[in-house]
């Protein structure tokens, strides 16, 4: 890690999903004291920063991405003092803390939306949202169904997500001022940055023209098609420029990370120009099939586009919105990413998925730039692919008319101890989503100190990544196999059916699976070697 304000350029950032990380009070849902109590595990793993998904007061219709109060902590997760303690404890351990900011929409229980409903049509309160006398168009919600909902007095409001998530009107200066103030509120409390939800959605094209293409979670925009009137509008950039000016008033390198489903890479890179955000999630990388040519192309394209604006490139394989990569990669290479998996759906090959996931992670951590990990991937956790449907909470499940299982399968509480209630997630037997009966083997206490475990693989990789400065290096492709040099390290992944030899003189540093008896790299294995 660079010990400068540019800490983020090569940082490994670990996503904590507060509901499912650790439950301190036994209500079956994770909380901030639970996170604080286990931060030392993350320090030991070797990460640089944590990103916390929303913990703000919320009716939880979209697992907290429906924020009712941007300056508080939901009682389910603790209180404001617990956030302060978490930040202080993390800083004491040398970990940075990034919080989630949800500016595209509020909860319908936010005081502004309540006031808007009470004040009625034509009021300044309604001007903070996007109200019309009739639906202005046929836009659909990302979670399914219409993006317009009627209120009791007959007006309609826009919600690009759930009906409980009314879109804010970013043409209104009051909305802009409010978010500048929210930024300062958390910066003053010491946070090191913000992950900005739906960063490409806040500004809508004037006139709200009709648009019939359906948008999906993390679905990149079609670079060949006409620009959608609700995504990636030019106007979003001046918002981030104004936010950047606020962040730059603070010391220590505070950052903005864009969650923007934007293509092609040059379009996405516009979010990370020098006076805007610092990073953007690389969803094309997450979505690349397990195929060497496609992976190489997306790596090259990502590095080129980010280099062109002087930004660092990020890499990510899993998060709380997608099927975990240990399961995704258990389907034939090239299978499109599915919106959740249920008992009646085709099931992944778990062993193949884990093998490829370990290889994919080692490949990712060998790349220069910043990498995002999602809690549990260091345990090799798979998706819960047979969760009974009655437990599902993702609004996409209902709004899609049960066409999409949704994202609950990647949000299951973590297993910490094989033989404890809820595998050590908390003192209670039950957790808000059920844990599969087979998860004892993934528990942290079954992996720490066990050679070859996935946790030990991540631990070794993060240590070597730091030691060899891979995060601040560069990619030089080698002839022949899928292999590149990053500084003094060769990163080689075998996508072929036959084992491959390491170059003469190469000294093995780390391997996602053991080499074969002849010292060759087997299929679906990544190695790091000194050359």
What does the per-residue mask of binding to ligand NOJ show for 70-109, with x meaning CB under 6 A?
--------------------------------x-------
Rounded to whole angstroms, the Cα distance separating 185 from 83 reads 12
Least distance between ligand NOJ and beta carbon 105 (Å): 7
Q: Is 404 in the site for ligand NOJ (CB under 6 A)?
A: no
From 357, 360, 406, select the one nearest 379 (Cα to Cα).
Answer: 357
Question: Using CB atoms, what's the residue nearest to ligand NOJ?
Answer: 65
Residue 249 falls in the annotated catalytic set? yes
Residue 447 phi, psi (nearest 5): -120, -35
Per residue, the 3-state secondary structure of 351-406, as one string, reads HHHHHHHHHHHHHHHCCCCEEEEECCHHHCCCCCCCCCHHHCCCHHHHHCCCCCCC
Least distance between ligand NOJ and beta carbon 53 (Å): 8
Q: Is 374 in the site for ligand NOJ (CB under 6 A)?
A: no
Q: Is 481 in the site for ligand NOJ (CB under 6 A)?
A: no
Residue 277 phi, psi (nearest 5): -85, 175
Binder of ligand NOJ out of 321, 377, 383, 513 (CB under 6 A): 321
Q: Is 198 in the site for ligand NOJ (CB under 6 A)?
A: yes
Task: Give 178's contacts (C-beta < 8 A, 6+ positions apart).
Answer: none
Q: Is 117 in the site for ligand NOJ (CB under 6 A)?
A: no
Choice between 60 and 511, CB closer to ligand NOJ: 60
Least distance between ligand NOJ and beta carbon 363 (Å): 24
Q: Is 167 in the site for ligand NOJ (CB under 6 A)?
A: no
Which of 149, 197, 276, 404 is labelled catalytic? 197
Least distance between ligand NOJ and beta carbon 66 (Å): 7
DSSP letters for 436-498: PTTGGGGSGGGTTT-TT-HHHHHHHHHHHHHHTTGGG---EE-SSSEEEEETTEEEEEE-SSS
Is-contact 476 492, C-beta < 8 A? no
Q: Is 322 in the site for ligand NOJ (CB under 6 A)?
A: no
Task: Give 119's contacts (C-beta < 8 A, 6+ positions apart).
Answer: 125, 126
Is-contact 322 328, C-beta < 8 A? yes
Which of 133, 249, 390, 479 is labelled catalytic? 249
Name the region of 37 (left: φ>0; alpha: ψ -120 to 50; beta: rest).
alpha
Chain centroid to CA 139: 25
Least distance between ligand NOJ and beta carbon 365 (Å): 23
Q: Is 408 in the site for ligand NOJ (CB under 6 A)?
A: no
Is-contact 270 311, C-beta < 8 A? no
Choice between 48 and 162, CB closer to ligand NOJ: 162
Other CB atoms within 10 Å distance of the CB of residue 307: 13
Choice between 7 and 143, CB closer to ligand NOJ: 143
What does the per-residue mask of binding to ligand NOJ show for 441-480, with x meaning CB under 6 A?
----------------------------------------
User: Which CA distances in Å does 519 have to 499, 500, 502, 508, 515?
Assistant: 9, 9, 8, 10, 5
Least distance between ligand NOJ and beta carbon 407 (Å): 7
Task: Tell me the pairing of strands 255-258 and 279-280.
Answer: parallel
Binder of ligand NOJ out of 197, 232, 513, 524 (CB under 6 A): 197
Residue 288 phi, psi (nearest 5): -65, 135
Q: Which of residues 52-71 bind ligand NOJ (CB under 6 A)?
A: 62, 65
Least distance between ligand NOJ and beta carbon 143 (Å): 8
Residue 197 falls in the annotated catalytic set? yes
Choice between 56 and 495, CB closer to ligand NOJ: 56
Choice between 128 and 446, CB closer to ligand NOJ: 128
Residues linked to residue 158 through DSSP beta bridges, in sequence order: 148
Choice between 376 and 471, CB closer to ligand NOJ: 376
Choice between 62 and 192, CB closer to ligand NOJ: 62
Q: Is 261 in the site for ligand NOJ (CB under 6 A)?
A: no
Residues linked to residue 105 through DSSP beta bridges, in sequence order: 167
Least distance between ligand NOJ and beta carbon 161 (Å): 4
Residue 373 phi, psi (nearest 5): -110, 150
Least distance between ligand NOJ and beta carbon 40 (Å): 27
Least distance between ligand NOJ and beta carbon 85 (Å): 25
Is-contact 203 138, C-beta < 8 A? no
Is-contact 22 35, C-beta < 8 A? yes
Choice between 221 and 490, CB closer to ligand NOJ: 221
Q: Is 260 in the site for ligand NOJ (CB under 6 A)?
A: no
Q: Is 179 in the site for ligand NOJ (CB under 6 A)?
A: no
Is-contact 489 527, C-beta < 8 A? no
3-state SS assignment for residue 165: coil
Choice between 199 and 269, CB closer to ligand NOJ: 199
Choice between 125 and 259, CB closer to ligand NOJ: 259
Instruction: Kindly determine how many residues on this chain lie close enough to bind ligand NOJ according to the rule CB under 6 A.
Output: 9
Rounded to whole angstroms, the Cα distance separating 117 from 109 reads 11
Residue 434 burial by CB count (10 A; 0-12/13-18/19+): exposed, middle or buried? middle
From 132, 114, 113, 112, select the one nearest 122 (Cα to Cα).
Answer: 132
Residues with active-site annotation? 197, 249
Q: Which residues bind ligand NOJ (CB under 6 A)?
A: 62, 65, 102, 161, 197-198, 259, 320-321
């Amino acid at each position: 890690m660079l010990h400068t304000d540019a800490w983020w350029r090569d940082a490994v950032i670990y996503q904590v999903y507060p509901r499912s990380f650790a439950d301190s009070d036994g209500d079956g849902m994770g909380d901030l004291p639970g996170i604080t109590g286990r931060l030392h595990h993350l320090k030991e793993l070797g990460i640089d920063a944590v990103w916390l998904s929303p913990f703000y007061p919320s009716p939880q219709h979209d697992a907290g991405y429906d924020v009712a109060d941007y300056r508080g902590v939901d009682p389910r997760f603790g209180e404001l003092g617990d956030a302060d303690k978490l930040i202080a404890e993390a800083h004491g351990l040398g970990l940075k803390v990034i919080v989630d900011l949800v500016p595209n929409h509020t909860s319908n229980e936010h005081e502004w939306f309540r006031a808007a409903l009470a004040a009625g049509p034509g009021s300044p309160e309604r001007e903070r949202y996007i109200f019309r006398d009739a639906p202005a168009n046929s836009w659909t919600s990302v979670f399914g169904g219409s993006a317009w909902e009627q209120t009791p007095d007959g007006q309609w409001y826009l919600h690009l997500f759930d009906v409980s998530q009314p879109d804010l009107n970013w043409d209104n200066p009051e909305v802009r001022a409010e978010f500048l103030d929210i930024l300062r509120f958390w910066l003053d409390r010491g946070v090191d940055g913000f992950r900005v939800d739906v960063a490409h959605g806040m500004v809508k094209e004037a006139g709200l023209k009709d648009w019939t293409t359906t948008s999906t979670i993390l679905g990149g925009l079609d670079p060949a098609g006409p620009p959608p009137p609700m995504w990636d509008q030019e106007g979003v950039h001046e918002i981030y420029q104004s936010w950047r000016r606020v962040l730059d008033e603070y010391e220590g390198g505070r950052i903005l990370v864009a969650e923007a489903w934007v293509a092609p890479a040059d379009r996405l890179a516009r979010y990370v120009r020098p006076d805007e955000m610092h990073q953007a999630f690389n969803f094309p990388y997450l979505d690349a099939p397990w195929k060497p040519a496609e992976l190489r192309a997306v790596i090259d394209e990502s590095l080129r586009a980010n280099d062109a604006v002087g930004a660092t490139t990020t890499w990510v394989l899993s998060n709380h919105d997608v099927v975990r990569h240990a399961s995704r990669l258990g389907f034939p290479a090239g299978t499109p990413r599915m919106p959740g998996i249920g008992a009646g759906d085709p099931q992944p090959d778990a062993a193949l998925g884990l093998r490829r996931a370990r290889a994919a992670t080692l490949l990712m951590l060998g790349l220069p730039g910043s990498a995002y990990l999602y809690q549990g991937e260091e345990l090799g956790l798979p998706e819960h692919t047979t969760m009974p449907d009655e437990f599902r909470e993702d609004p996409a499940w209902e709004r899609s008319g049960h066409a999409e299982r949704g994202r609950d399968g990647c949000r299951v509480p973590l297993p910490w101890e094989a033989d404890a209630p809820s595998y050590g997630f908390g003192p209670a037997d039950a957790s808000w989503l059920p844990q599969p009966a087979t998860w004892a083997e993934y528990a942290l206490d079954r992996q720490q100190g066990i050679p070859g475990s996935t946790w030990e693989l991540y631990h070794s990789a993060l240590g070597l990544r730091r030691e060899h400065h891979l995060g601040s290096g560069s990619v030089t492709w080698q002839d022949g196999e899928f292999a590149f040099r990053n500084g003094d390290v060769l990163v080689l992944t075998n996508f072929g059916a036959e084992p491959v030899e390491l170059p003469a003189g190469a000294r093995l540093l780390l391997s996602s699976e053991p080499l074969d008896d002849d010292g060759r790299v087997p299929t679906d294995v990544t190695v790091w070697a000194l050359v």
